[in-house]
Every structure is written in structure tokens, then in C-alpha cells.
Structure 1
Amino acid sequence: MSLSARTSPDDARLLDVLRDWLPTRRWFPAKGQAAELSPVASFALAPDVTILLVRARAGSIDVVLQVPLVLTDEPSPEALGTLDGRTVLDGAHHPAFLRAWLAAADGPGAEVDVSAARVVSGEQSNTSVILPGARPGILKVLRAIAPGENPDVDVPRHLVDVGWANVPAPLAWLQAEWPGHDGDPVTGYLGVLAAFVDAAEDGFELACAYAGRAETFAPLAAELGAITATMHVALVEAYGVDPSDDGPEEVARAVAARFSWALSAVPALARFADGVAAVVAEVRALSSAPPRQRVHGDLHLGQVLRSHDTWFIMDFEGEPLAPLAQRTRPDLALRDVAGLLRSIDYAAAVGGLTGADAASWTADARAGLLRGYGGGDQTLLRALELDKTLYEAVYESRNRPSWLPIPLAGLERLTG
């Protein structure tokens, strides 16, 4: 079923209860900024369960946030506040919300125990809740919601339909209609429940552990490369390829634009100007590029799981704050490979390797990944990895300055 939003005087009152709490959430998109918050609408999922939609605006950020809430007559140390004498609780992992969500959702369903739910730690842009049971699942509550087909629902469903087995299968999903920014109704997804992958290890944590032991990651990287290649084949089967022929010029323009943007944010990157220009020139000299297709769009080691000696790829949502059209636009499959290569550099650093030891470990793992994937145009791959590394340099300078040496080392290698 699809939910329809309502507007109520209680929406503004609930938002007042949440104003101090919202900016403290890891998924709040306007960290450190004076955001303007306003109620959009709400969904009455059950008598004591409400989903409040809040519009958050700060600078270039303008998003609608989903905030599940549970109201109860019982006091609680986890209370966010009170409304008319009732306790207001964060509902994302509350059994009452989970029970109501499952009752309203579409899909084949799951056999889960909502009373034993637990939140996945470390989540940032969304909230994921593990639901154990006879047919366990993991519910992703989308925090920044947008109109249209959410890739994290749409892509896994397509991949399962064409028989690709290395993605957690969607078990349930919830659509809704709410007022858009112009007041007209829009429709999109609020969340998705996917099959839980048991005995799973996070790909990034696994790679960091291998790096910490100075143990080769190449065999596992080769397997991941091979799985990634089959994913790209399955995505072509499911979505086809883009008939337009943009060629390598689009990649060259994008890298040049990325460098200009990065340089304005981090002036110290000026020393890489000649190297970036050389990479751009090499791309422009190419006579052709592979056709663009549907890709993962944000693939790195933190988006993969290792379970029962195989890899599973998840989180097809892309960058949640990016426009939906940008997240679903056909791209070069090698962009996903570039993301994995960059993640290997990060795993080496976080795992504690430095200097020659880091260079040797990453070179070995990178070679394994590319061997498993089956290669690809090295000029294009270098350009796409450079594009990603420039983005990382800006991100780290703004958010984790102590990590800035990781992308800087990557730039040294890619522009040398």
C-alpha cells in the first residue's frame, strides 16, 4: 500500500519537541550550520505511531527528512520530550513503529521478531535496524526522502529478477505520497526491508584487519572484482545500456571541473595541477569509451559483505543528498571499480600500514581486484579514480583533517 500524508497542527508542535535533538543525529544533513526547519506533513502509521516529515534548509541543502516517532503514556529515560503530557520517543527501532511499518509495507514479507530489533551502529545518512527471526531482515529507514524510484529498492529488485544472487533480496518496501516543495503531491519510498545476510563481515573492516596483519588481501579482492563484473553484466541485462555516445570527452570535462572545484576548497592541491592536466589530456586523446550503463554509483569496501566465502553487494542508494536523476544516471562501469580501488588505500591506512609496507599491500590488493574484474581501459580508470580522490581530498579537509594524507598520497600516485 502507499501512505498518504496529512497536515496537522501537531506537526509543528512535534517539531518543536525535536528541534534540539535533530541536529545531534548522525544522519542530520546540515552539521554545524544554522538550519531552517519546518514541518511538511505526517503519516499516522498507527494510533501511537507517527512519521513526521521535516524540511531542512541550510545553504545548498534543501531536503525532506523522515522522523518516525512513538508516543506513549509511560515515562522513559530515552524520551525526546513530551507532547500534551505524553512521552515522545525516537521510533526508528521501537517495536510499535516496526510492527506498523511491516503491516503497511508491500512485498513478499519476512518472519521477524520486532521486540528483538537492534540498530546498526555507525550509520550516517540512514538508519538500519536488524530484525531477527525465522526469516530475518534488515530495515533501512531512509532519512532524506525524495520523489521517484529509490535505487536501493529498485536496483536490488531488478537484480533479483534477472537471477543475480549476490545482493540481499528486498522483502518489503513502503511507498508514500507527501507535499512537494511546490505544494503538489509527490510519491517516493520511506524504507526497504532486505534479507539479512548472516555470518557476514563488513568488507572494509575485513580489509583493515588483513592490512593490520600485513596479510595479502589479493585473493579476496580478486573474488570481489569478479563479483563486481557479474553485477555489471546483470545491470545491463536488467536496464540495458545508454544509447547515447558521450565518449571520453565527458570524463575529461568532469575531471577538469572536479579539480577546479577541489582547488577552490583546498588551495594546497595546486601542486597537482600539471599532473591532473596530463591525465585529462590522455583521456581526451582516447578514440572511444565503453557505453554507459546502470552502475552501483557509490561502491566501496563498506558497501560489501563477506558471508559463507562469498561477497554480497548492497546499498545501491548512491549519495542520499544528490538529486535522484544524478544517482540513477547511466555511467561508466569502471567508476565502481575506481571506488573499490580508493577504498583499498583507505583500508591500508586505517589498518595501520605506512610507507613501503602500505604501498606493497595496496599494490597487491589492487592488482588482485583488477585481475578478478577482468581489466578495463587503464586511462579511463585512472581518470575516474583521480576524480574520486579529488572529492576525498575536499571531504577529508572539511570533516577529518587527520585523514587528508590518505587522498593526498593517492593524488601523488595518480598524477605522478
Structure 2
Amino acid sequence: MTTSLTGPLTGWIAEQRWFAGKGRAIEEVTIDSDVELSPGLRHLIVAVAQDGDRDRYQILLGEREPLPPRLAHVRVTPTVYDAAHDAELTGALLEAMAANADIGPLRFRRMDGAVIDTGQRSLVIGAEQSNTSLVFGDAYIMKLFRRLTPGVNPELEIVTALARRGSPHVAQPYGWIEADLDGENTTLAIMQQFLSAASDGWALALTSVRDLYASMPGLPASDAGGDFAAESHRLGAATARVHAELAAAFPTGVVEPPEVKRLAESFRHRLDRAIAEVPALGERADAAHEAYNRLADITGPVPVQRVHGDYHLGQVMRTPTDWIILDFEGEPGQPLAERRALSSPLRDVAGMLRSFDYAARHMLADHPDAASLEGRAREWADRNRSAFLTGYCEGGGRLHEEDAALLHALELSKAVYEVVYEARNRPSWITIPLAAFL
């Protein structure tokens, strides 16, 4: 089966959402590893050559003849398909994980003390950009990392460490899949508790914003039916507690003033590149330069530690008891060393502050009353940003007066990234990050 698949895989892989090489010609696809997990289910690691780069991807393949109509949408050839979508086969992943099995070069590992029900059936959820997640019943969610980077994934590293410390703010890990890639132990998948009764933070925030926009003109955000400030406060406190747990579980350090100045220069270079791509940003760049200039006022060491790295309302879930934080893998497009590097916890704080702005403003992009609602958007964002920061401080997070300059610079640096992203992907949303520079 393997030798005849490279041709079909070349065309198929280029069309997948999780394929990182879109827009570039594929020079060659080779199969580095082909392991039979169970009858009819194979695990492949394929290498894709493009422009001198060689990226590897993880694929589950099944083979059926004839191919059932329910699997036609994931067909690779007339009889071969993406088996992540086949609940009759994916139970083999649970069985191998429960047994701590080694199958060829693949190692399935169960978390110490975890009990895995191997009778659960899977369903692929969402349309993720870089991974594929399988929900098994209402018990587990297994994230398959499609594009593979040699090394232990930060999400596995952080979630297992925090779970062993009894953190109430992470979903319980049950196990993972690993293999050696370029001589390094590499994470292929992680399985955690599926939060079936939880609500997505982004969706909850948007409900609050809609309630405010639909309320009587002039009604304060605090009096609108879906006021979110209390939840923002709780989220701030949960964020601070997770930062404290990360500092206890992993090494910490400090960044001295000369390194802070180099950070400011990197922010300026990023700003210059962004202006070259999005000239409209140049009209508002003074605000960013002023924020970066203020970093020179930092004369003492800045604490750094492991952080989330890609923190926003879409990465948190509200359970009946508290907030749970997800997706500790950092920005998937960045090198693994950068995602695991120590950073100021204010980086996460800045990311969440930007997310509140997005929640408040994104519905204004095509809204007929956008101009009249602008003030209400600003009021909602300010109220929830303030509540989050208050909760963060009360939860033990460091946010002193001398931290204000770094937080503001980090927030505007994030907004610079957002301007470029929206210009490339959602031009109608570009006003959201541009508003951060007013």
C-alpha cells in the first residue's frame, strides 16, 4: 500500500487545513514511517519537501473496499482514507494507550493512575488549523499534532506537570503518544479530559457583547443582562494562579535591562516590517514607538518563566466550578525552542487584554450601526480588561506600577502582529487591531 500512496498523498495533503505549506509547490512526498496499529489502520509519518525545507506530518490511514459514503469526504484514493474520521478504527488508539503499548517505533503512554475506558467511540470535532482533535464519547479529547516538530510538545510538558501538582485549572491528562524523530523524543498526540459541560470563553464573551448592543441606548455595560465582568475577574485570578503553578513547576529567571532594550529593538523591527506590508499602520506608529521608548525606563530585572504563549478567550473554558485553561502548546508556527522559552507572564496578560478588545469590536466590522456602537464597544472592553487585571492582582499575579510599561509594549506588539494577520486573512477586521494604536 505504501509505495503506491506517495502520488495520491501529494495532492491530498496540499488540500488539508493543517498543511503548513500552502501556496508553495510540493517537490516530493516520502513516507518515513508506516506502522500497522490494527487490522485496517496504519500510522504514517510523511515528509514533504518544499523550497529546500522538509516538514513531517502525521496521518492515520484506513482502507475499505468499497469506501462507505460516510468516509467519502476524507478519501485519499478510491479505497484509502483519513482514518481519524473512522470511529470503528480509532478505538485502537485508546486500547494501545491504556496498555502502555509499544507498536513499532510508536510509544503509547498512560498517565500514572489514569483509568481509560477503551469502549468509547470517537468523533472528529472542529476544523482546526494545525491539529486534529478526536472526542471519545463524553470522556476524552485526543489532539493529534499533524505537523511534527522534534521534541516534547510544550502542552504535554505543562499539562502533566500542573496535573501532578493538583492544579484545578487544567483538564486532566490521560495519556499521550510519542516516537523518536531525529533522535529526539517527540510528542505525536495528547489525550485529556473532555469538558462536556463547559462553555467556551470566546462564546460567553460574545453573548455578553450582543446583550449590551441589544440593550437600551445609554444603558451602562454593568447593567446589561449579560455583564461579563465577574467572569473576567475570575479568569484573571485563575490566570495568576496558573502562572504561580508554572513558576513552581519549571525553572524561572530574570531578564536584565540590556536584554529589555534588545526586546524593544525587536519590537521596532517587527513594526517596521508590518508598516512595509500594511502602510495604514504607519499613520499610527507613534503610539507604538512611544510605548517601546518607555521600556528604557525599566532599570531592574524582569522576572521570566514558562507561560501559555498564545493566550486568549478561545483558549479558556468555563466549567460549573471554575475556568480551565487549554492549549499550552504556544503559537504552533513558532520553533519549539521559542515556544518553550522563558518569558514574562505579562505576555499572557497582554494577549488576554487584546482578546477582550476583539470580543468587543469584531461584530462591528459589518454592523450597520458600527459608528454609534463604538463607544459601547470601548466601554465593554475597558470594563472587562479592568476586571481581568483586578482579578489577576488579587489572585497573586505581579502587576506593579513599574510593570505598566512592559505590559503596554507587549500589548501593542501583539496588536502589530494582529494587523498583519488581518491584512492577510480578514481585511474587514483590520480596524480592530488598528484601534489599539489610538
TM-score, normalising length: structure 1: 0.88
Residue 233, structure 1, aligned to residue 236, structure 2: no
Contact 1:68 1:97 in 2 (8 A): no
Q: Which deviates further from its counterpart, 141-150 or 343-352?
A: 343-352
The question of 1:143 aligning with 2:146 is answered yes
User: Given that residues 248 and 287 in structure 1 are in contact (C-alpha distance below 8 angstroms), is that contact kept between their aligned partners in structure 2?
Assistant: no
CA distance, structure 1, for counterparts of residue 185 and residue 53 of structure 2: 20
- Partners of 1:71 and 1:301 in 2: how far apart? 39
Shift of 1:337: 0.6
Q: Which moved more, 1:160-169 or 1:259-268?
A: 259-268
Distance 1:31 1:236, change over 3 A: same
Q: Distance in 2 between matches of 1:351 and 1:173?
A: 38
Q: Distance in 2 between matches of 1:61 and 1:342?
A: 33
Measure, in 1, the Cα distance between the counterparts of 2:359 and 2:52: 31
1:82 deviates by: 6.8
- 1:151-300 maps to which residues of 2 (within 5 A)? 151-178=154-181, 180=182, 185-214=183-212, 215-242=226-253, 245=256, 247-300=259-312
- The corresponding residue for 1:18 is 9
More moved, 221-230 vs 245-254: 245-254
Q: 1:33 is matched with which residue? A: 24
Q: Answer yes or no: is 1:91 the counterpart of 2:83.
A: yes
SS of residue in 2 equivalent to 1:24: coil
Letter in 1 for 2:379: S
User: Is 1:132 aligned to 2:151, yes or no?
Assistant: no
Please tell me whether the aligned partners of residues 87 and 123 of structure 2 are also in contact (alpha carbons under 8 angstroms).
Answer: no
Q: Which residue of 2 aligns with 1:6?
A: none
1:369 to 359, 364, 388: 388
Contact residue 133 and residue 141 of structure 2 kept, 8 A: yes
What is the CA-CA distance between 1:230 and the residue it aligns to?
0.3
Offset from partner CA, 1:148-203 (integer Å, 9 cap, x none): 1111111000111222111012101001124x4xxxx4430110110111311111
In structure 1, C-alpha distance between the alignment counterparts of 2:82 and 2:292, rounded to whole Å: 49
TM-score, normalising length: structure 2:
0.84
- Gap change, CA 1:190 and 1:109, over 3 Å in 2: farther
Rounded Cα–Cα distance in structure 1 between residues aligned with 2:180 and 2:89: 19
What percentage of residue pairs aligned between the two structures are identical? 36
Say whether 1:72 aligns with 2:64.
Answer: yes
For residues 357 and 59 of structure 1, what CA distance do their matches in structure 2 show?
48
**Residue 16 of structure 1 aligns to which amino acid in structure 2?**
G
Alignment partner of 1:51 is 2:51: no
Q: In the aligned structure 1, how far is the partner of 2:335 from the partner of 2:2?
A: 26
Amino acid at match of 1:277: H
Of residues 366, 376, 387 in structure 2, which corresponds to 1:357? 376
Whole-angstrom distance in 2 between the partners of 1:239 and 1:97 = 38
AA aligned opposite 1:378: A
Question: In the alignment, is residue 121 of structure 1 matched against residue 126 of structure 2?
Answer: yes
Kept in 2, the 8 Å contact 1:11–1:39? The answer is: no
Does the CA-based 8 Å contact 2:24-2:50 persist in structure 1?
yes
Task: Give the aligned residue type for 2:8.
Answer: V
For the 8 Å contact 2:179–2:188, the answer to whether it is kept is yes
1:256: Cα distance to partner? 1.2
Structure 1 residues 81 and 370, CA, compared in 2 at 3 Å: closer, same or farther? closer
Amino acid at match of 1:229: A
Alpha-carbon distance between aligned partners in 2 of 1:227 and 1:329, rounded to the nearest angstrom: 22
SS in 2 for 1:56: strand
- State the match for 1:7 in structure 2: none
1-structure distance, mates of 2:19, 2:117: 31
Cα distance in 2 for partners of 1:53, 1:30 equals: 16
Deviations 1:7-44 (A, max 9, x none): xxx44522322333322222121233333341241232
Superposed displacement of residue 59, structure 1: 5.5
Residue ranges of structure 1 left out of the alignment (5+ in a row): 1-9
Deviation (angstroms), 1:219: 1.0
Deviation at 1:112, TM superposition (A): 4.9
C-alpha distance in structure 2 between counterparts of 1:357 and 1:149, whole Å = 44
Contact conserved, 1:11 with 1:52, CA < 8 A, in 2?
no
Say whether the 8 Å CA contact 2:362–2:432 is kept in structure 1. no
Counterpart CA distance in 2 for 1:14 and 1:61 is 21
How far does residue 409 in structure 1 lie from its aligned partner after superposition?
1.0
Query: Which deviates more, 276-285 or 33-42?
Result: 33-42
Q: Cα distance 1:97–1:384, how it changes in 2: closer, same or farther (>3 A)? A: farther
Change (3 A) 1:76 1:19: farther
1:48-89 residue CA offsets vs partner (Å, 9 max, x unmatched) = 211222233546975311111111233223245576xx7212
Deviations 1:243-266 (A, max 9, x none): 563653243123112212212221
Q: Which residue of the other structure, out of 378, 388, 395, is the alignment partner of 2:414?
A: 388
The answer to whether residue 325 in structure 2 is matched with residue 313 in structure 1 is yes
Asked if 1 retains the 8 angstrom alpha-carbon contact of 2:252 and 2:342, the reply is yes
**Structure 2 counterpart of 1:63, which letter?**
D
Count of aligned pairs: 393
CA–CA distance in 2 between the matches of 1:411 and 1:30? 32
Give the corresponding residue for 2:116: 110
Gaps in structure 2 of 5+ consecutive residues: 102-107, 213-225, 365-369, 394-398
* Shift, 1:384, TM fit: 0.4
| RMSD, aligned CA | 2.1
In structure 2, the partner of 1:399 is: 425
